[in-house]
Amino acid sequence: MLLIASATTSTGLHIVLPAMLVVAHITIIIALISVILLRESGTSDARLAWIVFVVLAPFFGAAAYLLFGGQRIGGIRRRRHREIHRSYSDIRRDDVQSLQAMEVDMPDHWRQVFSLAGAVTNTDVTGGHELHLIGEPKTFADEFIADIDAATDTIHLLTYIYLDDETGRVVADALIRAAHRGVTVRLLVDSVGSRNFLKSQTIKGLRDEGVQVGEMLPAHIVRVLFARVDIRNHRKIAVFDNRIGWVGSRNIASPSFAPKARFAPWVDCMARVLGPAIHDLQTLFLEDWFMATEERHEEYLNEPIKPTSGTACCQIMGTGPNFNNEALQQILQNCFYAAQHEIILTTPYFVPDSATEAALRGAALRGVRTLLIVPSRNDSHLVALASRSHYATLIKAGVEIQEFTAGLLHAKTMTIDGSLFMIGSANLDRRSLELNFEVSMLGWSEAFASTLRFLQTSYLNQCQPVDTARWLSQPALGRMKYNLAGLFSPLL
């Protein structure tokens, strides 16, 4: 009898436990689907992708969504940013409205693009800028160090990746020299992108010599409970003496990029900016500095804005999970719709949302020459596969695709009709467009756009054109591989 009772109990457990797991799984699925559908941010295809993933991957999909779904950066950080953003924006807007020497002079059909950018990013386009494009690594190092050595008051530097390599140590030495001269030096780095640097002797030396160092969005196991640890500050900003600004794609790292040397060299470009847009770059830096340190510095924004004799019109756009995070997608789509003759794009990661891709294809179908330049080898294999899942529809629409073979083309640039341009830190992928903190400079200047276009087309000398016939007739297995990766596009 005892044996029979024991066997009966064991059989009951074998039945009950799987039933409990099924009930738990169904409960979790229903709860998470409700959460996903109630999200205010994100696109419909991203919601659908997460729902499918949660349903088809029992428990693992739910865990993945809890870790990487939504745009959680923590309630305290969100409130802190809202407070400082409102305060700094009021100061900046008062300054802009009081200065008449920044009138914008551009063709009327481009004004709609900047009007939209202003509406979705809460910034203004202003005139009176001098712009200088830096595309060569040595030129960047020489001119960047020269600006550090010439600074007399403040240096504000924000970067996603700071490597403790040759370039990193040269920049560190220059920052220490500046601190010794009495210059206030603030260096802000991302916790994940610069994780090795944050443990290095170089950063210890910087702090010991008077450089203030902040860590953006610290990533640790406890933080997983309250925020997504994969949302990062991907911006690259430098402001010297509240007078000179730098914006673009280059991290503080040598082109050889030791952590991923087999993809080297990293090919980047930066813009050196003089003019009113400096205050918007300064505002973004100070907002991020406050997020990391809780230190306020309105005094830098109270200094008068000074236009230059330059004629370029510029608008600085900060995007991220604390902003309208569809802003950059909306601006890009508007740019593509406004194009009349030519669009040239360079990006290391091309995984756009469906609306942005449709706008790009629409431009090509209208007869606009549309050229996309991407790396032939990518440091993210999944992203590379997902990127190629878009090739067939782009090619059919008439988009010309070139793959850069001389390293990892990391520059994020756009020129349209030889006069409109964009340069910054944002890739044309879902992570940049919907998740990370990014900075982009949109502008109108025939002179600067021409220089940027020359750099873009110089990449073609080291490119291999995508073979249209071969790509459209690829084997079924190849199409399946790329399209399977493309299913994950909304999650990348």
Amino acid at 167: T
Name which of 102-116, 200-214, 419-433 the model is least confident about.
102-116
Whats the size of the chain, residue-wise? 492
- Strand-pairing partners, residue 443, are 314, 421
Helix (H, G, I), strand (E, B) or coil at 296: coil
10 Å Cβ neighbour count for 324? 14
Cis check for the bond before 265: say yes or no (omega within 30 of 0).
Answer: yes
Q: Tokens in use for 152?
A: 């007399």
Alpha helices in 122-200 (DSSP H): 137-150, 166-180
- Contacts of 24 by beta carbon, 8 Å cutoff, 6+ apart: none
pLDDT at res. 467: 83
Name the pLDDT band for 302 (thresholds 50, 70, 90).
confident
pLDDT given at position 13: 45
DSSP string, 345-405: EE-S-EE--HHHHHHHHHHHHTT-EEEEEEESS-S-HHHHHHHHTTHHHHHHHT-EEEEE-
Query: Which has the closest alpha carbon to 191: 168, 166, 158, 225?
Result: 158
Place of tokens 């601190």: 179
pLDDT in tens, 325-352: 688 999 999 999 999 999 999 999 999 8
- What pairs with residue 350 in β-bridges? 428
Q: Name residues whose C-beta falls within 8 Å of residue 152's C-beta, 6 or more positions apart in sequence.
A: 181, 183, 241
What residues contact residue 126 under an 8 Å CB cut-off, 6+ apart?
A: 96, 102, 104, 275, 276, 277, 307, 313, 314, 315
Question: What is the reported pLDDT for 214?
Answer: 96
For the chain, the 3-state helix, strand and coil shares in percent, each to the nearest 5, are 50, 20, 30
- Could you give the count of Cα atoms lying within 13 Å of 7 in the half-sphere of its Cβ? 4
pLDDT at 238 over 90: yes
Q: Is the pLDDT of residue 420 over 80?
A: yes
Q: What is the pLDDT of residues 187-224, one digit of tens each?
A: 999 999 999 999 999 999 999 999 999 999 887 665 55
Contact between residue 236 and residue 316 where contact means Cβ atoms under 8 Å apart: no
CA 364 from chain centre, in angstroms, equals 25
Task: Reply yes or no on whether the pLDDT at 361 is more than 60.
Answer: yes
Q: Which two tokens stand for residue 53?
A: 């993933």
pLDDT at 311 over 80: yes
Q: Which helix (H) or strand (E) holds 90?
A: helix 75-98
CA–CA separation, 223 and 229 (whole Å): 7
Given a contact cutoff of 8 angstroms between Cβ atoms, the answer to whether 287 and 464 are in contact is: no
Q: Is pLDDT above 60 for 492?
A: no
Give the three-state DSSP class for 311: coil
pLDDT of residue 3: 41
Q: Are 254 and 410 in contact (CB under 8 A)?
A: no
> What pLDDT does residue 220 have?
64
Average pLDDT of every residue of the chain: 84
Cα distance between residue 83 and residue 248, in whole Å = 27
Q: Which tokens sit at 58?
A: 């029992």
Q: Is the separation of the CB atoms in 298 and 442 below 8 Å? A: no
Give the CA dihedral 339, 343, 345, 349, nearest 10 degrees: 70
Using alpha carbons, list the distances in angstroms from residue 490 to 51, 317, 359, 372.
Answer: 11, 23, 18, 21
pLDDT (0 to 100) of residue 42: 60
pLDDT band with cut points at 50, 70 and 90 for residue 34: confident
CATH match of 75-104+129-311 with 3.30.870.10:
yes
**Vertex 366: Cα angle to 110 and 115 (nearest 5):** 20
CATH architecture of the region 327-491: 2-Layer Sandwich (3.30)
In terms of phi and psi (left: phi > 0; alpha: psi -120 to 50; beta: otherwise), the region of 381 is alpha
Q: What is the model's pLDDT at position 191?
A: 94
